[in-house]
Structure 1
């Protein structure tokens, strides 16, 4: 009888031991997975580069970014693959991912495009971006409906995609000019925009209108109120979408990814700049959630992030929240990063134009620990 009892307790102890080991193993695995998920939260930095600085100066800056928690740089080389090819190895040696940032439909000072006035978008009031630009002088928008303008844009995409070591081609200004400016910027231009104004409603170029007429058998230039014509609006959304989709095919042919800087969330982007980015073929979006531009409060970063994440549900697309750091205090920056994390972002991207302070860098670095 005692032998039976001893045997029973041995079996019981063995089962408890096994269960405990399995539980510990599960907890370790779960902790490891959680840690890995947290470590994947990426920190990006938009930066413009040029040929004037030395390699050593860029190396110092890249090392500074990396040592302060930055994982990836979005480098604007003016779509110059030679400059990108020069700087990519330096950034990668510092431990940074490199993403080739380019202006897409807005091509200010593009020497090739400027030889072709018919490539440019035209407003409803008949003003061409070739010589009469909306808002600011660097708004020189090419029409995605002009086949040669489109071919030119995509050739620039491919040139950047061919550079060894680049992780993605990053499309900026992949849209139409602002139909509506962010409300916080209107006083700067002494504007009221309570409807679609003719000077800011694009693209009434011949290439665009002729393409639309072939599809829908009506001329937007003859519409009494083109703002309420859904086909006309949808046509322009689809012109941008098809351009992005073509870029996606090109960069993936070169084993690169496609990313884009976009307006805060799809419905808002649709309304303001004819940009419906939740319908694009794309790998990563970096919505520029610059809350102060819209006279919103800090927690709007969380709202806009969550809205974008929801609109991307079921798609293999990462969303990384873009933050405008010149207007963020260190405490505000800390809160902004947490709001992005809490609302489903895969990372945060800082637009600082080399103005991040030591205190802001400290916040960024500490938020990763």
Structure 2
């Protein structure tokens, strides 16, 4: 996203372990398990999720206390960021299942801050139109360490991490986050905080112009993006980058399904907006469920915008076997606003809602969430 705050980037934003691959199980049947895997008393199995980040230095007792709160308050699923650590994830699965929670392996995908393997390969990192590499000059914030989605080595590294998490027993899905390019446009509500004005595609925030990307594009289209006067209006160049992200998603889908899991993703509010802001066209992906981060606060929008964006995403997914679960940003949200946010999501076709993030939910907000158990 932008030079947003760290919590915002933690967005950037499902079922018992399947024992058969997608080749042996029809896609529709695999996707249906997203909704049907957990028995609840909620109307129409409207699913409740939250994102949370795990520190391996914490004790099992502290995780048990956290997960117990989620289970007792009616959540069905948790998306756990273990920074790509399959051992920590395996440790947390039985603790979560003790409280009847599905576990989803949430990982920063294209943005890889603190990745010790990637850091040994400066050439893996995305390069901006003005020649700045995310390796040593990340855009917006220091932890914006975006890898190139075209380069073979960086792609294989990312897919290897996905493979490792997808093999953890008891995990329901691999959850893609930061599955995009760095923000070409920040959410409008964040611009003043960073003293930015973005009315056109600025070179500093336009990725990726590394030699591998531009050479591959030139080979196909007989023109070099580095020579463009206005790259924003070249549709082949835009589509090339959209498809590079899509190809990683498609490979992740294959990996997760071969390991008996499904694929889920945190995405920008609706496809047309995601396309414009971060070169992410998620309605064209192979993915079992999306959790669009419809964080109205970041866009200076009212609560009813959550319904608008949900409806738009649902419409764009029509005819595809992909569920949509609306992401809600709970900090500073009043009880009445939370009630309305959930209503807006549900009444506009969402299969569930996910709250960002678990530790930020207040006692008053938990009362609203618990009330969903007996509508």
TM-score by structure 2 length?
Answer: 0.88
Contact 1:173 1:261 in 2 (8 A): yes
Give the alignment of 1:84-103 within 5 angstroms. 84-103=89-108
1:189 correspondence with 2:170: no
- 1:368 to partner: Cα distance: 2.5
Q: How many residues are treated as equivalent by the alignment?
A: 335
Structure-2 residue corresponding to 1:78: 83
Alpha-carbon distance between aligned partners in 2 of 1:327 and 1:314, rounded to the nearest angstrom:
36
Could you tell me which of 112, 115, 124 is aligned with 1:119? 124
Answer with 1 or 2: which has the greater Rg: 1
Richer in helix (by share):
1
Structure-2 residue corresponding to 1:333: 338
Alpha-carbon distance between aligned partners in 1 of 2:64 and 2:358, rounded to the nearest angstrom:
17
Give the alignment of 1:1-369 within 5 angstroms. 38-352=43-357, 354-369=359-374
Q: Which whole-Å deviations, capped at 9, do the CAs of 1:65-91 have from their partners, x for residues lacking one?
A: 010111100000001000000001110
Contact 1:334 1:367 in 2 (8 A): no
Q: Secondary structure at the match of 1:326?
A: coil
Structure-2 residue corresponding to 1:24: none
* Structure 1 segments unaligned to the other structure (5+ residues): 1-34
RMSD (CA atoms): 1.1
- 1:352 to partner: Cα distance: 2.2
Alpha-carbon distance between aligned partners in 1 of 2:43 and 2:319, rounded to the nearest angstrom:
21
Q: Which whole-Å deviations, capped at 9, do the CAs of 1:149-171 have from their partners, x for residues lacking one?
A: 00000000000000000000000
Report which structure shows greater RCO (CA 8 Å, sep ≥6). Answer: 2
Contact 1:291 1:298 in 2 (8 A): yes
- 1:189 to partner: Cα distance: 1.0
Q: Which segment is superposed worse, 351-360 or 125-134?
A: 351-360
Misfit runs of 4+, over 6 Å: none
TM-score by structure 1 length?
Answer: 0.89
Alpha-carbon distance between aligned partners in 1 of 2:289 and 2:42, rounded to the nearest angstrom:
17
Q: Which whole-Å deviations, capped at 9, do the CAs of 1:182-236 have from their partners, x for residues lacking one?
A: 0000001101100000000000011211111121111000111111000000000
- 1:331 to partner: Cα distance: 1.0
